[in-house]
Amino acid sequence: MLRHPHLATLPALLLSLASTAAHGAVNDIFPSDYVALKDGTLNGTYYLSHRRQEGPIRDGKRLFDGAIDTDLAAIRMSYHMDVGTSSTFAPLVVLSWADSDASSGRLSRIIGDEATGMADLRVGGSFWFHRDREKREFLGVSLVAMLPTGHYNDKRVINIGENRWKWVLGGGMIWPLGEKWIVDISPEVAWYGDNDDYAGNRKLEQDVSYALTSYLRYRITPQFHLYAGLQFNRGGETAINGVDQDNAPDNQRTSFGLLYLTPGRDQWQLRYSRDSSIDNGFKTEDEIALRYSVLF
């Protein structure tokens, strides 16, 4: 329940940040995500993560002490099919569940204490224009739609689902720099539908957002990689009942992690991330994500 009308701009600050659906780039990219697998390969990828965000922040300044803790579990399934001699197409679907908790009394009175449930369903596909598995060179594009299927309560701001459609156009390039180094670069553009039942029957609109995610990997061995990442997020300002909120997050994120390929070519990743700067919203102080990918 919104009990502080003088903080009417605050719900917009929390829009994506209190939701598990978007904490930075809408599609959370990991190193090797744009590897085109062999024809006929079914890929299952499983995620577990814990994220702590602190704020709220407005124009780079913290308004008061508050925090949101989110636990996430997700599964992504994709099926890779060769198209011609150097292209691949892979449809995908993502299901996820999350639990978010507001830790301070003042914050919980504004956005709600807790939200638990299924997040919005994601469906889409990726197409690789260039694929050279021997040289480890990949260049592709993805289109993903988020359907308003997740758990949503219009009486509170903190929610798992977002009660709106979203569309994301992304790209990815993986390129080796000699024998030991690999660079992953992934830009994205996201469009947002309207939520006509936002925080007590308000109408929420959101501008287009942009993100660029990059990783630099070092191959200690062919099976074991270390990496560092940098992500820039721009745009995404919201309007509530037609009133612009001037609240684009405009944040920058850093990541560090390790990747291990098992003898059967299954993959494990452990990644730590945090926001190094943010203009509006909640700053991600700590995020730990464990990812396991298996080939069938």
CA distance 148 to 31: 28
Q: If we measure between CA atoms, which residue out of 58, 66, 57, 49 comes closest to residue 102?
A: 66
Q: Is residue 114 within 8 Å of 68, Cβ to Cβ?
A: no
- How far CA 124 is from CA of 131, 198, 249, in Å, comes to 20, 26, 26
Q: If we measure between CA atoms, which residue out of 282, 296, 288 comes closest to residue 104?
A: 282
Q: Write down the residue that tokens 């270390």 correspond to.
A: 226
- pLDDT for residue 268: 97
| pLDDT single digits (tens) 25-78 | 677 899 999 999 999 999 999 999 999 998 888 888 888 888 899 999 999 999
Q: Is residue 250 within 8 Å of 29, Cβ to Cβ?
A: no
- pLDDT for residue 11: 47
Residue ranges and CATH numbers for the domains of the chain are: 5-295 (2.40.128.130)
- pLDDT for residue 8: 44
CA distance 37 to 49: 25
Instruction: Decide which of 187 and 263 is more confident.
Output: 187
Task: Tell whether pTM > 0.85.
Answer: yes
**pLDDT tier, 10 (very low <50, low <70, confident <90, very high otherwise):** very low
Amino acid at 292: Y
| pLDDT single digits (tens) 13-23 | 444 443 333 34
| pLDDT single digits (tens) 266-293 | 999 999 999 999 988 889 999 999 999 9
Mean pLDDT of 218-230: 96
Task: Extract the tokens encoding 189.
Answer: 């553009």
Q: Partners of 256 in the beta sheet?
A: 228, 272
Mean pLDDT of 232-249: 87
CA distance 68 to 286: 11
Q: Pairing between strand 243-244 and 281-295?
A: unpaired
Q: Which residues contact 82 (CB under 8 A, 6 or more apart)?
A: 38, 39, 88
Amino acid at 175: W
CA distance 213 to 232: 7
Q: Is residue 213 within 8 Å of 234, Cβ to Cβ?
A: no
| pLDDT single digits (tens) 128-185 | 999 999 899 999 999 999 999 999 988 888 889 999 999 999 999 999 999 999 999 9
Q: Which residues contact 85 (CB under 8 A, 6 or more apart)?
A: none
Q: Which residues contact 164 (CB under 8 A, 6 or more apart)?
A: 148, 192, 193, 194, 195, 204
